[in-house]
Structure 1
Amino acid sequence: MEWSDIRIFLAIARAGSLGGAARAIGQTQPTMGRRLRALEQALGQTLFQRTSDGFVLTAEGAAVFAHAERMEEEALAFARQLSGRGRELDGMLRVSSSDWFGVHMLTPVIAGFIRAHPRVAVELVTDARLFSLARREADLVFRIRAFDEADVVQRKLMRMEYALYAAPGVAPPRAGGGEGHALLTLDTGFADLPDVAWMRRLLPAARVAFGSNSREAQARLCAAGAGLAVLPCLLAERVGGLRAVDLGEPAPGRDVWVGYHRDLRRQGRLRAFLDAAFEQLGDGGAPPGADPAADRSAHPSAPPSTPPAG
């Protein structure tokens, strides 16, 4: 194996395509493909599945990825030492969350982090689907349910309260009824979430007018007077133009968890980002700078079909 091939492997794993990896490290796409084949032949393993959505790590590739990242960390530290930059952080950090949480909660954290660590590139991926930490689809995942995957280290970041909201001109509904009211809710894939069930239970006669996996879309439509929506209070405050509706029973709140693969628990840029996130957002998790051994590891199990922080 050659270190240059390991760098190419890491670039492909992070970009998910030969073209994206080639642009990231300044090589041609044919060169990337040729060096990847050479590495796979040297290892005697297939490292990626070639799918219509791009290159996806195999189980063997995921195992190689963990070692390759540690090699990269040492190579970067070596280069920093020689150039006199000491402990300056650099490299790529991929963060995943729901759309609204990424836009409204994480971007201020990312802005400060980039200013403090200009050599670290942060990639924020907002999506309703779960990203696999084991397959390195993301380095850090923020979501509203504790992790059950094997080898995932997690912390509770914060508590989020929810409430029913309407535009100022919308007449408030009556608990136990809801006739004549439109509901803006999550799509059918998330119908079992506590806040969705709570709204349907308290407003059984209301009709569902809109469904989406985007809380941001629900909030914008709600502010435009299209109907009622259960929203995270933090999101409602940031969107503005909304008033809370009291049905006599509070909407269920949710905890936000952050998780990462245990192989990354001593990665400098990841731990620095965690410190920044807990400093700005945390209200009950481990304090910034906590020892990795104090983090809570998830128990092996099939991952639940739960959206990221939302």
Structure 2
Amino acid sequence: MQWDDLKVFLAVARTESLSGAGRVLKVDPATVGRRVARLEEGLGTPLFAKSPQGYAMTDAGQRLLAHAERAEAAMGAAVEELAGQAGALSGQIRIGAPDGCANFLLPQVCAAIMADNPDLEVQIVALPRVFNLSKREADMAIGVSPPAAGRLTVQKITDYRLHLAASRRYLRRHPPILGLDDLKDHRMVGYIPDMIFDKELDYLTGIGVERVALASNSVSVQFNWIRQGGGVGIVHDFAIPSAKGLVRLLTDQVSLTRSFYLIRHADDRRMDRLNRFATALADGIRREVARLEAEV
């Protein structure tokens, strides 16, 4: 069995299609199909079952996956060691993150890391959902709750705080907010209820808000609605310094604490380059949250 064949197998397993694997590998899908067929013939067993939904792994494919991922990690570690990457970081690293973290923390944190590592390429995938590291959607991900399953390692980065907020312009034009009962007379901003991908993000239900007039699956859209005077909503404290005129409300009655976690594939812990980047990333996020919250 050749390493190139295992790379093809991993690409199909993660994308669940020949065309998706072809895009990852930059080869024609027909070539991917031939390589998979050759590997299956050599092993004497089917690795995938084709259906209208795509290519699903068979039991044999599931058993091979663990070995292929260990081989991938070993190859990556060998390349790093032979390249002598004890100095500056280089190459491409992709981070998955919820868009609040991706918009208000990661740009400056990653810029600082790259200032010391000019050959490094960083990709930030800002999506309001949980990332599947097993399918290599990202090299590492930041989450707001630790995953309960999968061959993953989880490191708590830091706590962060959130409060109700509105713009001064909105508050001048609407009735005063002296208690939670007053919120029923105000336009609330929040998540689309059936698109909340993590229970830790269900802020408004916890304070008794039943109706969200301005809703989005993106925390950045919510933030801009609030900043522009659209209504009242829950805002990350670390985002407030980026918008003049935002006022925190009912801080003695509503004060939420959540956490960021750094999530990685277990096999990647043997890769020095990713370990060093993960350490710098976690340290940078921790410092940036503390700095920005101190400005509020």
Q: With the length of structure 1 as denominator, give the TM-score of the two structures.
A: 0.73
Kept after mapping to 2: 8 A contact 1:48/1:61: no
* Aligned match of 1:153: 153
Q: 2:271 aligns with which of 262, 267, 274?
A: 267
The alpha carbon displacement at 1:161 in A equals 0.6
| 2:203 counterpart letter in structure 1 | D
Count, aligned residues: 275
Higher helix proportion: 2
Aligned: 1:209 with 2:234: no
Q: 1:243 aligns with which of 247, 250, 256?
A: 247
Kept after mapping to 2: 8 A contact 1:196/1:230: yes
Once structures 1 and 2 are overlaid, which stretch shifts more, 225-234 or 25-34?
A: 25-34
Change (3 A) 1:153 1:75: closer
Aligned: 1:132 with 2:132: yes
* Aligned match of 2:187: 182
Alignment RMSD, CA only?
A: 3.4
Aligned: 1:169 with 2:159: no
The alpha carbon displacement at 1:79 in A equals 5.6
Deviations 1:12-65 (A, max 9, x none): 56667645654555533322332233234434352687775x767764464144
| 1-structure distance, mates of 2:286, 2:50 | 38
Once structures 1 and 2 are overlaid, which stretch shifts more, 261-270 or 13-22?
A: 13-22
Unaligned runs of 5+ in 1: 284-310
| 1-structure distance, mates of 2:99, 2:93 | 18
| 2-structure distance, mates of 1:40, 1:115 | 46
The alpha carbon displacement at 1:234 in A equals 1.1
| 2-structure distance, mates of 1:104, 1:112 | 14
Deviations 1:159-180 (A, max 9, x none): 1110111111122423122243
* Aligned match of 1:4: 4
Secondary structure of the structure 2 residue equivalent to 1:255: strand
* Aligned match of 1:69: 72
Percent same amino acid among aligned pairs? 24
Secondary structure of the structure 1 residue equivalent to 2:241: helix
The alpha carbon displacement at 1:140 in A equals 1.7
Change (3 A) 1:80 1:9: farther
* Aligned match of 1:105: 105
* Aligned match of 2:205: 197
| 2:148 counterpart letter in structure 1 | D
Q: How does 1:26-37 map to 2 (within 5 A)?
A: 26-37=26-37
Kept after mapping to 1: 8 A contact 2:90/2:119: yes
| 1-structure distance, mates of 2:122, 2:285 | 18
The alpha carbon displacement at 1:75 in A equals 4.9
| 2-structure distance, mates of 1:136, 1:153 | 14
The alpha carbon displacement at 1:87 in A equals 6.4
Deviations 1:214-257 (A, max 9, x none): 11111011111111010111123224442212353132111111
Unaligned runs of 5+ in 2: 288-296
Kept after mapping to 2: 8 A contact 1:62/1:135: no
Change (3 A) 1:124 1:179: closer
